[in-house]
Every structure is written in C-alpha cells, then in structure tokens.
Amino acid sequence: MSALEDTSVPAWCVTPTTPAVDTTGRHYTVVSVGPGASTVTEAWLAALAPLGAEAVRCIPADDGESAIRSLGPELARARVGWRLLIAGPADACLALRAAALSAGVEDDEMVIASTRTDGTTVYCAHCGTCTPSDASIDDTVTCAGCRRGLLVFPHVARRTGSYLGFMADAEVPAR
C-alpha cells in the first residue's frame, strides 16, 4: 500500500478522529450519524453555543442515506459563512462529503470526525456497481454486480465517496 499522504484517502478514513470545531463561520449544520457520533457532536454544539441557537442546526441520523436526505434542504439554504460539521462512521462521512461537494461545498467549509473506520463502499471499475463491505485497503471484496474479486485500492473518489476497486487478478494470465 502507498503511504497515506500519497493517496486520496482522507486520514479520518483510516484512523477515527475528533477534530476541533471550526468557529470561523456564521452558520453551522452539525450532522450526527449513528449512536457513536453523539459524543463528538455534543462537544461541537457546546463549543458553538455562544453563537446562539439560531446559528446552529443539528441533524441526527441513523445512517448515511437518511443523513444525506436531511442534508439536502441545509445545502439549499447554505450561504457564505456556512459550515458543515459531520460526525459518524467513515463510510457515512464519505457519502455525506460527496453529497456536499456535489452541491458546491468546499473542503475547507467542512469538518469531519470519523467514529468508526470499519465500513467501506467499493466502486467497481469494471461494471460501476458500488458494493458495501467491511474490507480494508488492499483487501479483496466480491463485486455485488459482476462478481469479480476486487482489490480495494487506496483511492477515494470525491464524487461517489467510495474506494476504487478493480479486478484483483487482472494481471494474472488466463489458463
């Protein structure tokens, strides 16, 4: 595997993190995904309390998909000075980050804290299917679409929030 700094994999996908809250904004949306995120988001909300309740909105969600649906109206209301704080499992954080980036949010407008790093979504370079998995970088996962054995490559697509997977034995000659 490549050194992490030579890949597109955010450090928070490999090691759970709890970054400090960014207090440079005027308005905030705090997204808390799953029960493990509440400790992080409670600390962030306490740090943002001096700004007043009208400046901070909190979205609790059970999973990444429901968080993305709830985030849509927040993204539509976002203006200059708005910040997005996301806490949850790394795979949910990647999906939320991808949704935010596609809506025009910049990386420096987001703070992300991963609470778990054991889940991944792997994008198949051969058929385009995204496969949820517990695989790590350099593991092999079976594609849910084409059934190929995919090597989980240390590359995360910003657009899809998924790891790149390609046929693990692509260079092995057929017999």
Please tell me the predicted confidence (pLDDT) of residue 174.
Answer: 60
pLDDT score recorded for residue 1: 44
**Residue 79 neighbours by CB distance under 10 Å:** 7
pLDDT score of 119: 86
Q: Can you give the pLDDT at residue 159?
A: 87
Two tokens, residue 96: 């939320």
**E strands of 4-161, at which residues?**
27-33, 56-61, 82-89, 110-116, 120-124, 130-133, 140-142, 149-157
**What CATH number does domain 17-116 carry, 3.40.1390.10, 3.30.2310.20, 2.60.40.1930, 3.40.50.2300?**
3.40.50.2300
d(CA 59, CA 136): 29
What are the sequence ranges of the domains in the chain?
Answer: 17-116, 120-167
User: Rounded to two decimals, what is the model's pTM?
Assistant: 0.88
**Average pLDDT for runs of 10 along the chain of length 175:** 68 86 91 94 95 94 95 91 96 95 94 92 95 92 96 91 90 66
